[in-house]
Amino acid sequence: MNSSTVICVLLVLINLSFVKGEQTLEASFVFGDSIVDAGNNNFIQSLSKANLPPNGIDFMANGGKPTGRFTNGRTNADIVGEELGLKDYALPFLDPNCKGKAILKGVNYASGAAGIMNQTGRLFVNRISMDIQIDYFNITRKQLDGLLGPSNAKELLMKKSMFSITIGANDFLNNYLLPVLSIGERISETPNTFIDGLIKNLRGQLTRLYKLDARKIVVASVGPIGCIPYQKQINRVNEDECVDLPNKLAKQYNGRLKDLLKELTDNLPGATFVHANIYDLVMDIMTNYTKYGFQTASVACCGNGGQYQGIIPCGPQSSMCKDRSKYVFWDPYHPSEATNLIIAKKLVDGDTNYVSPINLRQLKDL
């Protein structure tokens, strides 16, 4: 083989490598609860809302005004999209502007207080459960066929879109673990039975998304819900402690979730289900918060009630910390933008400790 032939072969290989690594992400479809709600609950009669200041104070895309996001700035779904090249945030499905060509960039279906189970969050009156969120995606799916034609719509969804699901925490906090047992499920079900039901429902929901042409799907585990300021406050634990039962239930569910995602990847041709290990990631941030640049992992930046500011949600009458970047938690329940930034970057480019079997940049490039 002469030198010119070698050069040609190398150029072809380099070009093939370049093309393989240049898969573009054109749309993000976001499902879940208040961790990733971008404003859907603004448009329903619900007690779970974040449409009052100082929520959104650092969301510069809206001039520091509330958007319905349950944090001071961007959610981790917003940041993941940015990191993977999306120039626009997915609009909430219920936003009147979420129509026509706007849906080609993706849609956010997430809803504060939502759960895998339809009854979860009913104390908050209205919320959009995971089942209803998929019903809404089915509407979007038909709209995409109308905009692009069936073949191009499939191409967009299967190859150029990412689907993210952040759900499950409310099924424990606002269902199974409710203090009023008659409203929750604990009165009649063991933890194993309840978690069996969650996994069964989620299997059906994820399979339904697959049948609607979702192929690149990331599902978040439930975080260490026993460590949020609200749980620490109502259970009166020390600053360096978390509430044991919620965390125990979350870990039990998360083990089953990881097995489910492997099962679905093995059995649904062409699909890749990625497990986002939010539990261990957030626990690492909380345990080593000073290493990450925070001054507290226990006290909410915005809230009221006790040593952890953990009782009253963030609103105009709340006290607010001076430096929001120094707090792991924005309010009694939700992470700050600074925490969301760490989470998002670990999911996009991290190793298998926190995202498996591949990270989200690798998922994009499939």
199 vs 204: CA distance, rounded Å: 9
Element (H, E) at 31: strand 27-32
Element (H, E) at 24: none
Q: Report which of 307, 310, 320, 350 is spatially closest to residue 56, judged by C-alpha positions.
A: 320
Structure tokens at 166: 């952040």
Residue 223 pLDDT more than 70? yes
Residue with the bigger pLDDT between 188 and 114: it is 114
Q: Are 328 and 297 in contact, with CB atoms under 8 Å apart?
A: yes
- Both ends of the chain: CA-CA distance in Å? 33
Structure tokens at 203: 């299997």
299 vs 321: CA distance, rounded Å: 10
111 vs 109: CA distance, rounded Å: 7
Classify 311 as helix, strand or coil: coil
Query: DSSP H helical segments within the chain, as ranges?
Result: 3-20, 76-83, 130-148, 150-159, 169-171, 191-211, 229-235, 244-267, 278-287, 337-349, 360-364
User: Facing residues of 163 across strands?
Assistant: 29, 217
Task: Considering the candidates 28, 34, 164, 221, report the single residue annotated as catalytic.
Answer: 34
Residue with the bigger pLDDT between 21 and 142: it is 142
Kindly report the average pLDDT of the chain as a whole number.
Answer: 93
CA distances from 281 to 18, 240, 306, 351 (A): 31, 17, 27, 11
CB burial of residue 151 (10 Å; 0-12, 13-18, 19+):
exposed
334 is annotated as an active-site residue: yes
Q: 33-63: per-residue pLDDT in tens? A: 999 999 999 999 999 999 999 999 999 999 9
- Rounded to an integer, the average pLDDT of 55-72 is 97
- Per-residue pLDDT, 17: 39
pLDDT band at 186 (very low <50, low <70, confident <90, very high): low
DSSP string for residues in 331-354: SSSSB-HHHHHHHHHHHHH--TTT
Structure tokens at 218: 């990331």
Structure tokens at 328: 């792991």
116 vs 124: CA distance, rounded Å: 15
Q: 320-347: per-residue pLDDT in tens? A: 999 999 999 999 999 999 999 999 999 9
- Per-residue pLDDT, 366: 95
282 vs 266: CA distance, rounded Å: 28
Specify the DSSP class assigned to residue 188. T
CA distances from 237 to 176, 226, 281 (A): 21, 10, 22
Task: Considering the candidates 37, 171, 213, 331, report the single residue annotated as catalytic.
Answer: 331
Domains of the chain: 25-278+337-364 (3.40.50)
Task: Considering the candidates 37, 46, 213, 334, report the single residue annotated as catalytic.
Answer: 334
Provide the residue type at 32 as one letter: G
Q: 281-310: per-residue pLDDT in tens? A: 999 999 999 999 999 999 999 999 999 999
- For the chain, what percent of residues have pLDDT higher than 70? 92
